[in-house]
Structure 1
Amino acid sequence: MKIDMRGLEAFLWVAELGTFGRAAAHLNISQTAVSHRLKKLEESLGLQLFSRSTRQVTLTPAGADLLPTGRALISDFEAQLEQIRKRHVDTAEELTLACVPTLAIHVLPPVFAKFSSKRPTARVRLFDKSITEIGDTIASGLAEFGITLLAANHWKLATEPLLKDEFVCVCPAKHPLANKAVVTWSDLEPLPLVRFTPHTANRIVIDNALGSRADRFNWFYEVQHTMTAQMLVDSGLALAILPSLATQNLPPSLKALRLTHPRVTRTIGIVRRRDEAPSDLARVFHAALKEQVERIRK
């Protein structure tokens, strides 16, 4: 059924104001036009929405039933139009991006500083979300692009790899292993460890790399965030396997060790909609991001 938005609007204002005349004045159209719109709506629905008399207009049971639904439809329609207007008018100088929290904390601050120096009047809207949510946020149009772990579930999006981020072992600075520059997974087998919760991107990368060997380790703790894992390590409760990017600003009480056999890495990159070229603001931000990536590589 085709929705007659003008007829629905006329119906709502007649119901709200009680007469065709007041509804016509509010809509800035003639009373005849209001009657015509309402008649078309009633005909399309096959229902009488008002009982009319010389003195008053009252809702029929069908009209009373339609009233809350009609209000919700109009409200949602106006909200959607406002979102479109804001994206293309009000926020012409607004950059929208999505990013996994770890990267937002450890990679983006200097990128934002460089971006702001290039576009000082531009606003930034950052959605810090999980890897799965980032794909949905971009596909829906809420964010223009995302910075995330590149994974198989991004096959509908255009991807641009930026760098490989290696997983490392984080231990207390006074731990016996802290004297080593490099440790192997075999060194960790007898020790209490922290790992990420199931279905997180980091957990999936590590599990895929270890395969059935993952069951040999003593995973005493499961956490969702890297800061929680660092807290557990700092308390002397366990060692943690964390992305190298998350260990750039470790306190003196902690130490990050290279981890090999196997060496486990994750790929960080940009994702965006395939059918949309980057905006001018996005290009400026991407350039600043790539400069920061080069500094990290060094």
Structure 2
Amino acid sequence: MSNNVTLRHLRAFVAVAERGGYTAAARSLNIAQSALSRTIVEVEEELDTRLFERTTRRVVLTASGEQLLMNARRVLEEFDSAMSRFQLYHSGLNGVVSLAALSSVASIMLPTFISEFRKGRPNVRISVKDGFADEVVRYVRDGQVDFGITSFPKASGQLICEQIAADTLVCICSKSHRFVGLETVSWNDLNGEDFVAFDPLSSVRTCVDRALQIAEIQLGTITQARDVGTVAGLVSADLGISVVPSLVLPMMQFCEITQKKLVSPAVEREIYLVHDPQTPIPP
């Protein structure tokens, strides 16, 4: 007994078994009855057994045929199901999309876009990693995600970086700070102020430090924190002012702080879509 029975053979066999004859089966398969008969003979020769008892009116399964029918149906169902899943994946209606993003982007920008995306693709799973700017780049470079959304993609190498958004830097202070009475705050106003700074790994820290250096601002006592909420809490406690991208402000609403437009000059943090051209993107 050989193993050269193909899916074409199994489909022909199941059609004859389920329709009780060659005429109806050939019609359902849209092939000539003679071609169908040859196919069944090939199956019986390959398996070295008779699958049907032929009568004048119909064909009846043998014991071997009954066993093969049960197995053939299972094989065809699994194959058809697998191909259906692949077609959904190939058309972008199934599978997984993985991405990494800055925490502010992941919590503020992305949810609306993901919600819209899922309306037309309910079977696509979304995996989101949040992290600092360099962490996002590393996730993309290491192939852990399909693409990333980050700021200041340093040392990106072969990665493709496309700017997709920008958010303006604003000054935040406590409700009791002297800045509360000002309509706007200039960078020069920050001179000598105690300051709550983000962790050096943060894209916010990179952007703010660059602006402070250009404006030649000397800060007072610096308190450093990693988390957006922690920075907000420290500012609310009047331990210093801070400068943050407008995108993170919704993440600070639990604290009693005041935001002020930061001018002379207005500074933006650029947001980039980053991906590796060597990594295949899911459909």
Counting only pairs closer than 5 Å after superposition, residues 1-298 of structure 1 correspond to structure 2 as 93-211=95-213, 216-248=218-250, 250-251=253-254, 253-276=256-279, 278-280=281-283
Unmatched 5+ stretches in structure 2:
1-88
Q: Which string of whole-angstrom CA distances, capped at 9 and with x for unpartnered residues, describes residues 135-186 of structure 1?
A: 2211222200011113332242111111221111111234331232310122
Q: Label 1:201 to 1:195 Cα distance change in 2 as closer, same or farther (>3 A).
A: same
Change (3 A) 1:146 1:212: closer
**Matched residues in 2 for 1:133 and 1:266: separation?**
17
Letter in 2 for 1:94: V
Q: Which has the larger radius of gyration?
A: 2
Matched to 2:218, the amino acid is R
Supply the AA of the counterpart residue of 2:127. Answer: R
Going from structure 1 to structure 2, the CA distance change for 1:252 and 1:140 (only over 3 Å counts) comes to closer
How far, CA to CA, are the matches of 1:220 and 1:252 in structure 2? 20
Q: Which moved more, 1:239-248 or 1:129-138?
A: 129-138
- Contact 2:173 / 2:242 at 8 angstroms: preserved in 1? yes
Q: What secondary structure, in the 3-state scheme, does the structure 2 residue paired with 1:154 have?
A: coil
The one-letter amino acid paired with 2:271 is I
Question: How far apart, in 1, do the equivalents of 2:142 and 2:222 lie?
Answer: 38
Return the offset for 1:221: 0.4
Deviation at 1:95, TM superposition (A): 0.9
CA contact (8 A) 1:182 1:260 kept: yes
Cα separation, partners in 2 of 1:238 and 1:107, compared to 1, 3 Å: same
Tell me if the contact between 1:138 and 1:273 (Cα under 8 Å) persists in the aligned partners.
yes
Aligned residues of 1:195 and 1:203 also touching (Cα < 8 A): yes
Q: 1:174 to 1:157 in 2, by over 3 A?
A: same
Which residue in 2 is equivalent to 1:288? none
**SS state of the match for residue 177, structure 1?**
helix
Distance 2:95 2:237 in 1: 45
Residue identity opposite 1:279 in structure 2: P
Task: Provide the C-alpha distance between the structure 2 equivalents of 1:258 and 1:169, rounded to a whole number of angstroms.
Answer: 6
Q: Equivalent residue of 1:127, what SS?
A: strand
- Using the size of structure 1 for normalisation, the TM-score is 0.58
2:248 and 2:107 mapped to 1: Cα distance? 8
Q: Over aligned residue pairs, what C-alpha RMSD do you find?
A: 2.6
Partner of 2:72: none
SS at match of 2:144: coil
Q: What residue identity is the alignment partner of 2:126?
A: V
Contact map agreement 1:173 1:252 (CA 8 A) in 2: no
TM-score, normalising length: structure 2: 0.61
- Structure with the bigger percentage of helix: 1
